[in-house]
Amino acid sequence: MTDLSLATAQTIINAAMEKAADLKIKPITVAVLDAGGHLTALVRQDGSSIMRPQIAYGKAYGALAVGTGTRWLNANAESRPHFIQALNGASGGSIIPVPGGVMIRDGQGKALGAVGITGDTSDNDEACAVAGIHAAGLVADTGA
């Protein structure tokens, strides 16, 4: 597999939504981006607040921007806030540096894209992203 297809994005989203239901968490929004940062699919559950699409996109975009999951960005926001501030400035404010943005890789480690999820705690958002990626038979990189 070299590209992230719409069918794969839909598999990721469906499995992430199933995980959210299993965890009984708040409504989530899921954004799937391809390796070039283009939005492949976005789904917002009923009851999800109005900024959730932008947050989900920002988590996925942040993962792509640094080539690893946003857990890495979160750690750096704590230890090197000036770096994250500069990175976010360079991106036009597009990066959300908290867990929930996960890189999607193939079995050889090639980046295929990223998924960003928001709606509940960052840990729950990330767990849903990982479940979705694994359901598609791909590798999840959380940045841990």
Question: Residue 7: how many CB atoms within 10 A of its CB?
Answer: 10
User: Nearest-5° angle of CA 98, CA 142, CA 114?
Assistant: 85
Contact predicate 117/100, CB 8 Å: yes
Distances (CA, A) of 68 to 17, 26, 74: 22, 26, 11
Give 2's pLDDT tier (boundaries 50, 70, 90): low
Q: Which fold has domain 6-141?
A: Beta-Lactamase (3.30.450)
Give me the pLDDT at residue 3, please.
83
Q: State how far the Cα of 115 lies from the Cα of 117, in Å rounded to an integer.
A: 7
Smallest Cα–Cα separation from 60: which of 2, 132, 7?
132
Give me the pLDDT at residue 144, please.
79
Tens digits of residue pLDDT in 6-16: 999 999 999 99
Question: Residue 18: how many CB atoms within 10 A of its CB?
Answer: 14
- Name the residue with higher pLDDT: 3 or 131: 131
The DSSP bridge pattern shows strands 29-34 and 39-44 to be antiparallel
Average pLDDT over residues 105-122: 96
Tens digits of residue pLDDT in 19-54: 999 999 999 999 999 999 999 999 999 999 999 999
How far does Cα 98 stand from its chain's mean position?
10
Give me the pLDDT at residue 1, please.
45
Coil vs helix vs strand at 115: strand
Tens digits of residue pLDDT in 114-138: 999 999 999 999 999 999 999 999 9
How far does Cα 122 stand from its chain's mean position?
11
Tens digits of residue pLDDT in 54-104: 999 999 999 999 999 999 999 999 999 999 999 999 999 999 999 999 999
> 112: Cβ–Cβ under 8 A, 6 or more apart, which residues?
1, 2, 3, 4, 34, 35, 104, 105, 106, 138
